[in-house]
Amino acid sequence: MPRVLDPELRHALAARIRYYNEMGIYDFYRRPAQESAENESVRTAASVEIAVPSFGIQPETRAEMTPRKAAAVAVPVAVEENMFEVIVTKPEQGVSDPVKALKLIREDLGDCTRCPLHKQGRKQIVFGVGNPTAELMFVGEGPGADEDEQGEPFVGRAGQLLNNMIKAMGIAREQVYIANIVKCRPPGNRTPEREECETCSPFLMRQIAVIKPKVIVALGAVAAKTLLAMSASMAQLRGRFYDFKPAGVRSNDPNWDGCKLAVTYHPAFLLRDPRQKGEAWKDLQMVMKELGL
C-alpha cells in the first residue's frame, strides 16, 4: 500500500528532486524500507541515493583531486510509486532526433549561472560541437581563450593538434563529437575546481546519453577523473578501456548500454611535452582497433 505523505514533506521532497533534475540528475534508487515501528520515525530521514556507476577500480585518494562523493539526498523512502515518474523528466527524454535532443539540453542549460565560472570572465558557454550520432567522442577539460571567443571547443593550438590526431586516425573532425567537462572558461586557464566539474558535467552526461558513442576518449586527467569518478595518475589511467555509462541519466535507446572509455594526454600537454606524442598515439591506436578503423 502506498504511504500517504504529509503534504509539507511531499512538497519538500518534490523541491529537492527538482533541484537535482536541474543539475541533470534523474536516476534515484531507494533503500528497502524498514517495516518496524522503531524505524517509523527514521523513515523520513532515510536516503534516496543517486546511482553512481562502479568501474571496478578502487579509487585512490590524491591531494589534487579527491574521489567524487556518492551524493545522498535526505528524503523519505515512503513515497507513492508514481511520484518519481511525474517529477523525473528531462526535456530531451523521449526525443529520438539527437539534433533536437541536444538542442533541448542546450536550452535547458540556458544562460547558466550554476557554478562560479559564470561570473569569472566567460564570454560565452561552449556547449560542444560535432556529429550528433558520432561513434567517437572526445572530452577535454574546459574552454581556453580561443574557445571562449569562438564558442567552439578545441579551436586553438591544442585544437589544431587534436585535429591532426583525429586525421591520423583516418577520420575527420566533423565525424566526431567534441566537448569539455566544464562549458565556461576558467580564468587564466586554471584547472577547473572539482565543484565546478561536478556542477557542469551532468549536462555532458546528458549529451553523451543522446549521442551514444561507441568510444569516448578522455583528454587529460581532469576529464578522465571526472568521467570515471576516480582518482589515479595518468600512467594508471591510460592503456586500457573502461566500461562507461553516463552517471545519472539513461539513454533513450534501450539498446545502448554505455560505451568504452579510453584515456590519453590532453593536446595542450602534448604541446608542452611533445615526447609524449608517441604514447598518445598508442592510446589512439587502441581506440582505432576498437572502432575497426
- For ligand SF4, give the closer residue by CB, 120 or 252: 120
**Site stretch for ligand SF4 (CB under 6 A), options 74-82, 88-96, 164-172, 195-203:** 195-203
Long-range contacts of 154-163 (CB under 8 A, 24+ apart): 154/178, 154/267, 157/268, 157/271, 158/266, 158/267, 158/268, 158/271, 159/267, 161/267, 161/270, 161/271, 162/138, 162/219, 162/267
Burial (CB count <10 Å: 0-12, 13-18, 19+), residue 217: buried
181 binds ligand SF4 (CB under 6 A): no
Which of these segments, 83-91, 153-161, 193-201, 263-271, binds ligand SF4 (CB under 6 A)?
Answer: 193-201
Is residue 182 involved in binding ligand SF4 (CB under 6 A)? yes
Q: List CB contacts of 192: < 8 A, sequence separation 6 or more.
A: 117, 141, 142, 181, 182, 186, 200, 222
- Torsion angle in degrees (nearest 10) through CA of 283, 286, 291, 293: 90
Task: Tell me the number of residues near ligand SF4 by CB under 6 A.
Answer: 14
The interface mask with ligand SF4, positions 118-157, x = CB under 6 A, is x------x--------------------------------
Nearer to ligand SF4, 68 or 183 (CB): 183
Residues 91-110 binding ligand SF4 (CB under 6 A) are 109
CB of 111 to ligand SF4, least distance (A): 9
Cell readout for 96 is 529520438
Q: In this structure, is the dihedral angle defined by the CA atoms of residues 186, 220, 289 and 247, taken in order, positive or negative? A: negative
Residue from 199, 207, 226, 251 in contact with ligand SF4 (CB under 6 A)? 199
Q: Out of 25, 77, 115, 178, which residue is the one contacting ligand SF4 (CB under 6 A)?
A: 115
Tell me the Ramachandran region of residue 188: left when phi exceeds 0, alpha when psi lies from -120 to 50, beta otherwise: left
223 lies in the site for ligand SF4, by CB under 6 A:
no
Q: Is 200 in the site for ligand SF4 (CB under 6 A)?
A: yes
Q: Is 185 in the site for ligand SF4 (CB under 6 A)?
A: no
Residue (of 131, 150, 152) closest to 140 by Cα position: 152
- 184 contacts ligand SF4 (rule: CB under 6 A): yes
Which residues are CB-contacts of 286 (< 8 A; sequence separation ≥ 6)? Answer: 239, 241, 262
CB of 30 to ligand SF4, least distance (A): 28
Among 112, 171, 288, 291, binds ligand SF4 (CB under 6 A): 112
Output 95 or 112, the one with its CB closest to ligand SF4: 112
User: Interface with ligand SF4 by CB under 6 A: which residues?
Assistant: 109, 112-115, 117-118, 125, 182-184, 196, 199-200
